[in-house]
Structure 1
Amino acid sequence: MENILKFTISSFLLLSLVLMSCFTDPKEEKEWQYLFNGNDLSDWGIKIKNHEFGENYNNTFKVDGNVLKVSYEEYQSFEEKFGHIFYMKKKYKNYHLSLEYKFSGNHLQGAPAWSVKNSGIMLHCQDPKTMLLDQDFPVSAEVQLLGGLGEGNRTTANICSPGTDVDINDKLAKAHCNSSNSKTFHSDDWVKVEVIVRSNQLIKHIVENDTVLTYSNIRVGGNKVPKNYLKNIGSPLKDGYISLQSEGHPVEFREIKIKEL
């Protein structure tokens, strides 16, 4: 009887392991690829307003302790130096992007008031080499990252549309920026943001595991289309580069990784 019981228990455990292996993909975590290696800015390219592509004016973007930083330590004043750092190794179309961000330090003198604790993840960006010298932002869909100001509501992972239009609930989002339903993060702690992108068909913004916004139909349009993109108005943005933004407030990024879908 004892041997039969041992055999039954062993068989049950073996069957459980087999079933678990059927429903668990051992490669799932290995599918994530880190875009930022934590050591340097390899595979990234920089475009700052009124500077040529590749010039990291005043070391705006730097690496410090496995963190990618937007730094204004060498600035005296902002002077409209809107900047973006692009992952240049490839364009992406269908993917799951994940990163953590936090604001730090003080808002730079001369930067616009709206840019206090304000940054962004830019999706489906135009090639930065095609940006005009004095262009503020790449044609893209922006996951606007905001920090709380100590009181009141200030949602994060909103959608802004530099040079683009998007639909929310199948209707044109007429405002340049449209709010998510996230909570406000007043303290300068790390906040995890994820974006699930299905070309230009469906995009989801996720904050700390909660879906806070969905939209669709990214296309060239709106009131911030650069002169060399006017002929593309109405064209769908089905893929593009990914970039991170510098708008006048120091911000840090880490755990920047992607899984293609």
Structure 2
Amino acid sequence: MKNQILTVVAAIVFIMMGSSCQREQEWNALFNGQDLSNWDKFLGSSLGPDFDSLAQAATIGQVFSVVELDGENVIRISGEINGSLATPESFENYHLRLVFKWGETVYSRRNSGLLYHSFGDFGAAFGTWMPNIEFQMMHQNLGDTYLMLNTACETEVIYIEETGQFVYTPGADALIFGEHANG
């Protein structure tokens, strides 16, 4: 994947909610609404050579913070360096609900991701992330799926010959995607 991913990370899992499919009405808020004390934080690689000085000056508290927006506390990620914000909890059989908003400052481009099914060590993928599956959150490119390192997924897709791309299509044949299998 590209080295210049401005990832508001293994999370925006932070603004998201997870739940057990068994009881849809009981959402488990991963963000406590106050602080980031229940999150693991990691500063990774620079956004590129033009941003090395920003990366060297970056601190965890400056990159990941809680601010008030429209009367409620939200997680703010500054975006001046690639980084990860991850819950140490494990989940299965869940639905994710996420609300996000782009900030005013753009360092290289508006590019982030919701990274899930993460495992292993921070920094394993491109000096910043754990191996994971990424839901792409990029300006004008929302929803692509990226598999980092030795991850795989089985997804219902159709292949569009004109574009050379697979498109998620509920009810279509499920194909396996990963390091050695791409549909």
Q: Does 1:57 align with 2:43?
A: no
Q: Does 1:48 align with 2:34?
A: no
Structure 2: stretches of 5+ with no match in the other structure? 1-22, 46-57, 160-164
Structure 2 CA distance for partners of 1:162 and 1:133, relative to 1, 3 Å: closer
The one-character-per-residue Cα deviations of 1:123-156 (angstroms, maximum 9, x if unpaired) are: 1001446x44972322100011122xxxxxx341
TM-score by length of 1: 0.43
- Within 5 Å, which residues of 2 pair with 1:74-85? 78=80, 81-85=81-85
1:159 alignment partner in structure 2: 145
1:207 alignment partner in structure 2: none
2:75 alignment partner in structure 1: 68
1:143 alignment partner in structure 2: 135
Structure 2 CA distance for partners of 1:99 and 1:156, relative to 1, 3 Å: same
Displacement of 1:82: 1.4
Cα distance in 1 between the residues matched to 2:138 and 2:41: 22
TM-score by length of 2: 0.59
Moved more, 160-169 or 33-42: 160-169
Cα distance in 2 between the residues matched to 1:103 and 1:180: 25
Structure 2 CA distance for partners of 1:118 and 1:133, relative to 1, 3 Å: closer
RMSD in angstroms over aligned alpha carbons? Answer: 3.7
1:107 alignment partner in structure 2: 106
- Within 5 Å, which residues of 2 pair with 1:233-252? none
Local SS of the residue matching 1:102: coil
Cα distance in 1 between the residues matched to 2:27 and 2:105: 33
Cα distance in 1 between the residues matched to 2:124 and 2:32: 29
2:112 alignment partner in structure 1: 119
Displacement of 1:168: 4.2
Displacement of 1:157: 1.9
Structure 2 CA distance for partners of 1:122 and 1:179, relative to 1, 3 Å: farther
The answer on whether the counterparts of 2:42 and 2:128 sit within 8 Å (CA) in structure 1 is no
Which one has a larger percent helix, Structure 1 or Structure 2? 1
The one-character-per-residue Cα deviations of 1:191-232 (angstroms, maximum 9, x if unpaired) are: xxxxxxxxxxxxx9xxxxxx8xx977576x37xxxxxxxxxx
Q: Does 1:34 align with 2:37?
A: no
The answer on whether the counterparts of 2:114 and 2:135 sit within 8 Å (CA) in structure 1 is yes
Matched residues, percent identical?
22
The one-character-per-residue Cα deviations of 1:28-62 (angstroms, maximum 9, x if unpaired) are: 52x11110011100210111116xxxx95362010
2:16 alignment partner in structure 1: none
Local SS of the residue matching 1:100: coil
Structure 1: stretches of 5+ with no match in the other structure? 1-26, 73-77, 148-153, 173-177, 182-203, 205-210, 223-233, 235-261
The one-character-per-residue Cα deviations of 1:58-87 (angstroms, maximum 9, x if unpaired) are: 620100011101115xxxxx5xx3101001
Structure 2 CA distance for partners of 1:104 and 1:171, relative to 1, 3 Å: same
Cα distance in 2 between the residues matched to 1:168 and 1:142: 14
2:49 alignment partner in structure 1: none
Structure 2 CA distance for partners of 1:216 and 1:40, relative to 1, 3 Å: farther
